[in-house]
Structure 1
Amino acid sequence: MRLYWRPEKLCKKTRSNILVTQGTRGGGGGLRQILFTPHGFVKQALKAANASVKSEILDGKKYDAVMISTGDKDKIIGYFGSEGTLEKIQTWVDNNVLGDMLVEYTFSNYKDYGGVKFPTNLSNRQWKVPVFELAVKDVRPNVPADIKPEPQQQGRGNRWWEPGAPGSPELKSGVAVPVRLSEGVWYMTDPTSGSPHHSVLVEFKDFLVMIEAPSSEARSEELLAVTKHLFPNKRIRFVVNTHPHFDHIGGLRRFAVEDIPIVTHRSNIPFFQEAFSNPRTINPDKLAKSGKSAEFVPGDGKYVITDGDRSIELHLMQNLDHSSGNYIAYLPKEKFMIEGCIYNPDYPNAVLDPPSPFTASLYDNIMRLKLDVDLGIGLHGRVFPMTELAKYAGRTR
């Protein structure tokens, strides 16, 4: 990849002549991303009135650490090695799951390109996870580059709420819209989102169970408020997490504030405990302010919640690459199956060729477990019959 660099453009509010690839999210967008390049950071540090420098040991190596701030709680630290080149940049951003999430950029193997030193290896990690690597083949300083923004794509709208799609509830305004699927089973829908995340509320004799607390604290506030309206005299005994992807766990901490235990597969709990223990100084949520800790209930290959009449069975998926520790929920009395992300219904009569391996795995697991399913309930998308699932799993002609 070639980079065309024009340093004089870096900090002006005009289009910056630098080619970048996607995948560098985490430190902010637009002009702010320039701060996480060597030349952008140096230029900002030189003009920043609040810049400070001190010696610091990081990963066993001595650096000159230069800190700048672009806001009250926003700090960016650049680490300069013995040769005076910028080797790392660290900042912290707010994350629903991880709290103050470390975002680190690393630069190495600097070369001289016509008097401009530039790293030939750049990488980025968020928390512990590598998210971006770039090997630079060439840098041409001050060469004009005709860079134009890509035209905006015309959205298809919300495909999962396409009018006429089987099981699509009526569109209403509001974040958590309850749709009654049967006596005591409510589909807590999110029709206002382009990529909806739903939950399922199940009523038992003396308590309630919420299956999935996705997205954010705000989403869980809505779920709790709607539940209180529907059942003012019943408490939520458990909140069930199907799998540990961030869009499915962003609201769990709000339930912990209410002392509601989180049921998930035991393999997920070490991650949750570590993530939930991270500092939250940038944007403290209600759990952080409360001083409470989340309680986790570990499940195995099968975990059952029952009152003797109605049951929720949680079954661990096998041969599924989407996520480890991935549960589906089964309500044997109603013959309902609840899944998240494994099958996301598309338009009616859509052609999926080849079938998704996730969808095929879901169908095969249902057959393996000998579950008698009449209706599937998507935590993305909508409800669907088993005949549809079999079709899109490639298990029927």
Structure 2
Amino acid sequence: MNTSVERLLDGLGGRDAVLAARTQRTQATGQRLHPGWGAMPDQPELVAEFKFDLVEDLSEPRYELALTGPTHLVPVELSYTETSDGTSGWLTGVDFMFDPRPVDRAIPSWRVAARQRHLDLTSVLRLARKVIAGPVTSPADGVLVLEDLTIHLADDGTIATVSVIEDHSPKGDSTVEIHFSRYGAVGQLRLPYRMEITVDGVTVHEETRFRMTVSDSDEAESFVVKESGEQADAAQLAYARRSTEWIMTYVLSGVRFYFDLQTAPVKTLDVAPGVKVVVGPSHNILVVEMPDHIVTVDAPMYSRYTSAALDAVRNAFPGKPLRYAVATHFHYDHIGGIREFVAEGNVTVVAGRRTVGFFEQILQTDHTITPDRLQQAPVPVHVQGVDDKLVLPMADGGNLEIHRIVTDHSDDTLIAYASGPKVLFVSDLWSATPTPPEPFSYRGRLPVQLVDAVTRLGLDVETVATGHNGAGDTTVAPYEYLLRTAGVAND
């Protein structure tokens, strides 16, 4: 008999009590933080607060979750009910910060898989039942290893910490730890009223469970789904499992597209001679022609996406190799594929001076959970920091100017300006619109700060291309539209 297993079961209230539990209802409040969306890499951003009422089947992958609370990247009040019958899922309400209209729709089965994996990691009763089912090993007293999970027990036999290595773009192998504390009585059981999740030691999730009940009923009526949605393939299901907490940060932030292994970009857009934008489903890449090479600005999301985009980058100006990859800022969704560009060889990464160390780190970290090209075939990499300005000569005789500015979004933001065609490329500070926008209609002070920077730098801008598409999938707009958004009157 494994004494650590018996210690665990005794600590939770006994084997019989654990096995008798069929469903658990948990009501909790908490918050989610994003380590890659703050002003600097070491300053996680508060992206969402929540209150939820969760009913979960403890022996089958089924749940019903009612969640409310504000998301902060784009201020929206989320309010939805998400239900899974084990393979399919259904959502009713508002779960998307970019379009806060209520929906009543199926959700992709790989989102269901990611949510269920999160519940598996954060439920001590589900963990205990998996330990009973085995196989489990105990390499040391108070330590249990179950598949890819390592469970550490407290002195009283309760679960103190669960750890797992996940793949979190762009950092690669990341240690996820779930910490349980403040155990209290729930019927015959002892369950934790406090839960915290850290990624590489940085807190990304805090949760206080203020009410819990456990039932011996299966409550099957709670897990009815209207109809099946998009079914995940094997790669998506594996992705949901190996990158669970990376995905859940976006889900809890109110992002519906989840960066779900999106495939090839939609198109390559000609903006001006020597300037193109590779337009993706959610993120874009600027490609600029130089005399004997090309420069890209941004490398979105993660290696698989950027790998698909790379063909379009190579074909933008055939015969010219990639030599510079510019990062507008360090936020993960805009540079998660930087390693894929660097793997081309002889590529210099350009970043704001204050985040050079961060980029050097992610270009050197292990990516063994999901090996990318740089992991499989390492190449030397140089990261060049920009204090104020970097000027690179373009093929048309003009210059590509890289300027560092400070905004509310990031303390180390770069903007790219092609002087010949007078094109400005920015990410997250503004998104292009198909028609003249209303003043102050985009993300607070960011457009104002951008216009102030353009004015201070004396840039003669006519056209703005953006790292995200605006309404109507618009990628490029006149500078006048940005001025209107910033509340600047046109003369």
Query: Secondary structure of 1:136's match?
Result: strand
- How far apart in 2 are the matches of 1:326 and 1:149? 47
Q: Is the 8 A contact 1:176 1:222 kept in 2?
A: no
State the match for 1:340 in structure 2: 427
- How far apart in 1 are the matches of 2:66 and 2:124? 15
Query: Secondary structure of 1:120's match?
Result: strand
Match among 15, 21, 30 for residue 115 of structure 2: 30
Q: 1:21 to 1:274 in 2, by over 3 A?
A: farther
Q: Is the 8 A contact 1:76 1:89 kept in 2?
A: yes
State the match for 1:390 in structure 2: 483
State the match for 1:373 in structure 2: 461
Q: Residue 118 in 1 paired to residue 191 in 2?
A: yes
How much has 1:274 moved relative to structure 2? 2.2
Q: Is the 8 A contact 1:256 1:295 kept in 2?
A: no
Summarize the alignment of residues 119-134 of structure 1 with structure 2, pairs less than 5 Å apart: 119-134=192-207
Summarize the alignment of residues 1-397 of structure 1 with structure 2, pairs less than 5 Å apart: 2=27, 9-13=57-61, 15-16=62-63, 29-36=114-121, 37-49=123-135, 51-55=136-140, 64-69=142-147, 75-142=148-215, 175=265, 177-190=267-280, 193=281, 196-259=282-345, 260-306=347-393, 309-318=397-406, 320-346=407-433, 348-349=435-436, 351=438, 356-381=444-469, 382-396=475-489
Equivalent residues, number: 356
How much has 1:285 moved relative to structure 2? 0.7
Q: Is the 8 A contact 2:264 2:305 kept in 1?
A: no
How much has 1:352 moved relative to structure 2? 6.0
- How far apart in 2 are the matches of 1:149 and 1:349? 45
- How far apart in 2 are the matches of 1:371 and 1:150? 55
Q: CA RMSD in A?
A: 3.1
Q: 1:143 to 1:47 in 2, by over 3 A?
A: closer
- How far apart in 2 are the matches of 1:98 and 1:27? 24
Cα displacement string for residues 27-80 of structure 1 (whole angstroms, at most 9, x for unaligned residues): 96233223212111111111112x11133xxxxxxx7221111xxxxx111110
How much has 1:246 moved relative to structure 2? 1.0
How much has 1:6 moved relative to structure 2? 7.6
Unaligned runs of 5+ in 1: 56-62, 70-74, 153-172
One-letter identity of the residue aligned with 2:27: R
- How far apart in 2 are the matches of 1:268 and 1:26? 32
Q: 1:329 to 1:290 in 2, by over 3 A?
A: same
Query: Secondary structure of 2:333's match?
Result: helix
Cα displacement string for residues 80-101 of structure 1 (whole angstroms, at most 9, x for unaligned residues): 0111110111112223311122
Deviates further, 214-223 or 374-383: 214-223
How much has 1:353 moved relative to structure 2? 5.3
Q: 1:206 to 1:251 in 2, by over 3 A?
A: same
One-letter identity of the residue aligned with 1:254: E
- How far apart in 2 are the matches of 1:386 and 1:108? 53
Cα displacement string for residues 252-311 of structure 1 (whole angstroms, at most 9, x for unaligned residues): 111211221111112112112223333222111110000324321121111111269221
Query: Secondary structure of 1:34's match?
Result: helix
Identity of matched residues, %: 22
Cα displacement string for residues 348-384 of structure 1 (whole angstroms, at most 9, x for unaligned residues): 3554656521112111111121211111110111111
How much has 1:17 moved relative to structure 2? 6.3
How much has 1:136 moved relative to structure 2? 2.1
- How far apart in 1 are the matches of 2:174 and 2:332? 13
Q: Is the 8 A contact 1:6 1:142 kept in 2?
A: no
How much has 1:324 moved relative to structure 2? 2.2
Query: Secondary structure of 1:244's match?
Result: coil
How much has 1:231 moved relative to structure 2? 3.3
How much has 1:230 moved relative to structure 2? 4.2
Q: 1:41 to 1:358 in 2, by over 3 A?
A: same
One-letter identity of the residue aligned with 1:363: V
